[in-house]
A and B are shown apart, each in its own frame.
Chain A
Amino acid sequence: NSELFTLTYGALVTQLCKDYENDEEVNKQLDKMGYNIGVRLIEDFLARSSVGRCHDFRETADVIAKVAFKMYLGITPSVTNWSPAGDEFSLILESNPLVDFVELPDNHSGLVYSNLLCGVLRGALEMVQMAVDVKFAQDTLRGDNVTEIRMKFIKRNLILLLLILAPEWWLLAPFIAHLEVLQVLDHLFLVALPGEAEDSFSLDQESVQQPLAATPAPNLAVEDFISHGALWDVETPPSAREAVTKHPWGRY
């Protein structure tokens, strides 16, 4: 019975609206909450569904639409609108259990009611070493015919970025304190390819681990490897060029 779920979500959103009084802020909070849900949900999903590692973004899209959505929301969205590069797609939801009885009032026209779902998808994929950008492209609550979630794969964007701007790497030399960094590029290429995701994991492990030093009391915050493996930032850079001139490799 999904009534309680719909009611709970509704109560959550209305309370957030009262607390923050600003649609943008509420959207952000929903996304954060969704993120926290997503990082935990992924383990439950992997434990119960026994799907293996996806080797490309298309497989990921299929698994999300056919297995994950079915398992948790009981709906099967369709995967469409693939970008030519194969790094973006849309999930079209015919029905959305979260918004069963909801109408958006005029004073909340900027509110993305189901933004929690975006956070969930983003958090879950981040835990399997895939950085994605998720947003609602269409929303039935705001007058469109269908609800459309647009998902963009960020890691591959980074590769395209580097390939396109390859000749200009040497221009960046004065901005880079340690030129050995450019040697790391080989690793980056290998690592940033979606299919090589496991290698990125073990590579980062080596850079992070000092075997005998990992003894501090477990109650101290343990840095999680994703913060060290920052080959990408979760937020998409404003424009390709800007991103490259500012800090192309995050923390390298």
Chain B
Amino acid sequence: MAIFSVYIVNKAGGLIYQYDSYVPRSENEKTFSFPLDLVLKTHDERVVVAFGQRDGIRVGHAVLSINGVDVNGRYTSDGKEVIEYLKDPTNYPVAIRFGRPRLSSNEKLMLASMFHSLFAIGSQLSPEEKSSGIEMLETDTFKLHCFQTLTGIKFIILADPRQAGIDSLLRKIYEIYSDFALKNPFYSLEMPIRCELFDQNLKLALEVAEKAGTFGPGS
């Protein structure tokens, strides 16, 4: 539960594997009557709250579902446009679920490539020679651990700041990669990893690390 996600980036900076094991999402469903006291706007192909923070619904939260029907971007799964729908008083009362929007896979690709570039910049900026590059990025809500192999593949883990044992977990994932991805003759190097065995073993390793980790010796 304390390890949020795993990213694997290839030599050229492209994301080849991504796994979210636990995504702490805050979601709120509320029933509203006309007129809606939140101001909604379209941003990046999503309908987000621009103003009117209340009851746990914060600015930046996106509309996730209306009346139980999931929302895709600006349209519901039924094909109705969200903003238009909410302007019409006859549709009320309506139950809308708000929450922090999930990253789409394109966004994850972009972020991984950006990290790859930052990593390269990091090793260039280093005052000492032969720097290892970014090993950890710390924030108040998570820690990002990165391990780059001698061949240029980066394994990135986002975990709870108190989670220990991430270094050995990174090495373990490297072993799992060299076993289940590389030894699979149908897997081409540098391409996205779509190997069942790799997924299963990775999940197992994450579970083991989570159980052993949080109160163990520092990573």
Contact = CB atoms under 8 A, between A and B. Distances in A.
Interface of A: 39-40, 42-44, 46-48, 50, 52-53, 127-128, 198-199, 201-202, 205-206, 208-209, 211-215, 218-219, 222-226
Contacts of A52: 150
A197 B121 CA distance: 16
29 contacts: A40-B178, A40-B182, A43-B149, A43-B174, A43-B177, A43-B178, A44-B182, A44-B183, A46-B151, A46-B174, A47-B177, A47-B178, A48-B175, A52-B150, A128-B150, A198-B130, A199-B130, A202-B120, A202-B123, A205-B117, A209-B13, A212-B114, A214-B110, A218-B14, A218-B109, A219-B192, A222-B14, A225-B12, A226-B11
Nearest to A128: B150
A202 B153 CA distance: 13
A215 B110 contact: yes
Contacts of A127: 151
**Which of A53, A214, A215, A226 gathers the greatest number of chain B CB atoms within 10 Å?**
A214
A202 B124 contact: yes
Contacts of A215: 106, 109-110, 113
A223 B12 contact: yes
A50 B120 CA distance: 23
Given A39-B189, A219-B191, 5 more contacts: A42-B151, A46-B178, A47-B174, A208-B13, A211-B113
Interface of B: 10-16, 106, 109-110, 113-114, 116-117, 120-121, 123-124, 129-131, 133, 149-153, 171, 174-175, 177-179, 182-183, 189-192
Contacts of B121: 206
Contacts of A199: 129-130
Contact of B123 (A40, A44, A198, A208): A198
A43 B191 contact: no
B120 A47 contact: no
Contacts of B183: 40, 44
Contacts of B114: 211-212
B124 A218 contact: no
Contacts of A209: 12-13, 113, 116-117, 120
**Minimum-distance CB pairs A-B, first 3:** A214-B113, A44-B178, A205-B120
Nearest to A208: B12
A198 B119 CA distance: 13
A214 B123 contact: no
Interface of A is mostly: helix
A128 B151 contact: yes
Contacts of B130: 198-199
**Which of B11, B109, B149 gathers the greatest number of chain A CB atoms within 10 Å?**
B11
Nearest to A203: B124
A121 B1 CA distance: 42
A116 to B, nearest CB: 15
Given A48-B175, A214-B113, A205 B13 contact: yes
B182 A43 contact: yes
Contact of A225 (B106, B131, B152): B152
A212 B151 contact: no
Contacts of B192: 218-219
A212 B120 contact: no
**Which of B12, B16, B121, B129 gathers the greatest number of chain A CB atoms within 10 Å?**
B12
Contact of B116 (A39, A213, A214, A223): A214
B175 A214 contact: no
A205 B171 CA distance: 23
Given A46-B151, A202-B120, A209-B13, A222 B182 contact: no
Nearest to A45: B178
A215 to B, nearest CB: 5
B1 to A, nearest CB: 27
Nearest to B176: A47
B195 to A, nearest CB: 13
Contacts of A214: 12-14, 109-110, 113, 116
A133 to B, nearest CB: 20
Contacts of A48: 175, 178
Contacts of A205: 13, 116-117, 120
B94 to A, nearest CB: 36
